[in-house]
Structure 1
Amino acid sequence: MTIIEAGATEREQSEFTREWERWHRAHETRRADPHGFLAVTGITWLTTIPARIDGVPGAWSTSEAGPVVELAEGEQLRDGDDLLTGRHAFGPIAERSSVVVHAGGIAVEVARRGGQDLVRPRDPGHPYLARFSGTPAYEPTADWVVPGRYVAYDVPREVTVGSAAEGLQHVYESPGEVEFERDGATHRLVAFNGAGPGQLHVLFTDATSGVTTYAANRSLDIDAPAADGSVLLDFTRAVNLPCAYTDHATCPLPPAGNRLSIAVEAGEKAPLERELG
């Protein structure tokens, strides 16, 4: 990734824009995967009572031993090269983990979120995926690549946040906070652990939320801090979570302190196919 900050030359800004466009095209391609979130047709929270799910073989339930599907005669699911028939127990699924099996061309996600097991079918023929025309975004500018500082907690903290799914809560480990200066004020964001070693991840809203950007949240990945704690917040790469596109998502909401008073006019806007809010 080309790193430039505010005050970049025209040539530097042009290269920054080209690289951002390449990144965003790749991000949108992954988002529109035939079995991605845009293909989710519904969400079913499993109980101890076996229940059928539209478009999916079997009767599904859960227990302390994890999700179970009971397939009637003539019904089957595929797990890689294996065919599942009869009664199949998936075993306990870890929080924020999932298993995917297939019924013909439909991917069936079996997952655990907020301490509950769920099933989400993903159909490549879902009308929402077919009409998806891409995610609008602010024009990328180096002015929104903002230097900041990582401030680690003495001991990592567990942070409980709400969810796009009503009544659900998520618990994440936070190693510290990221602070940055903008419009003459210091702003702080509670950070969670990122995907790679030392990387950070923040969820936030700002003054554009519900106006030009999705109301509930946006997400920003931050590279591992330097030895002195310095970081760069590239807000041009602030992205929507799945809940911006589907009602069948369980996305976490930002921690209470991550509601910025400034307008972050950078990164992805609300999807065209969804109303703001």
Structure 2
Amino acid sequence: HAETFGNPADPLLIQLHGGPGADYATHLQAKAFAQEGYFVIFFDQRGAGLSRRHGPDSFTLENYFEDLRQIIAHYRYSPDQKVFLMGHSWGAMYATGYANRYPDAVNGLVLSEPGGFTLAEMQAYLGRAFAVKPFTEGINDIVWAEQLIAGKSHAELDYEFMLLAVTGSNVGDDGPLPISRVGAVCSQSMLALADRDGLDLASQLSAFQTKVLFMYSDQNMAYGYDHALRVSSAFPNVDLLEITGTGHDLHFFAFDAYFAASLTYLNALR
């Protein structure tokens, strides 16, 4: 499921939502970049939002990277058209992993509060952020028992998982988010994959020399400057920026500041 705004001949600005398993609803304010000369692309990632549901074996980093490669190939108007990735939370991890794999295929990265680029970084952040931790047996028992024993549909699992997802957090957001449907199997499959096989999204980032805009909030007590500095240090060239008066979902609750900083960064690279 995808939606676009702007002139298809303009530089591509691809929005990568969080999760894994959320949708792009919180990113829709970014269609404002279309008025500034960017072709803005939104899509619900595989198994999430309004996109088609899949079984657990479908969720691998290789498949995610191939999905993004195909999105770029589909929308790219010409070979010299620049490609910018704008990712939040898991979406920022996704964007980084893609640039790590294909450094010459990305002309710039706008990132906000990626949990981490290694398993240790991600687990440390999630452990501070959520009262119900995605890596505990409890939440796995709830989701997987429902699917495997009760045989519930994706729709039922998605609804129940959304209820679990709103169980207490320390990320500093001011209110509810307009997420319409999460992907339960998507989310738990990717988290289980990282837990089993580890996570490496940054081992080749030395080849990505383009400056990166890396934003974090002042009200997400689970993130903070120290974690932002640790995670962003994977990039050879990074502009670390604190967005004040907001929490984790700064791309939604502090869009004006997010937009201004992002536009300045993007215009310097286009």
TM-score with structure 1 length normalisation?
0.24
Q: Which protein has the larger Cα radius of gyration, Structure 1 or Structure 2?
A: 1
- Structure with the higher helix share, 1 or 2: 2
TM-score with structure 2 length normalisation?
0.25
- Structure with the higher strand share, 1 or 2: 1
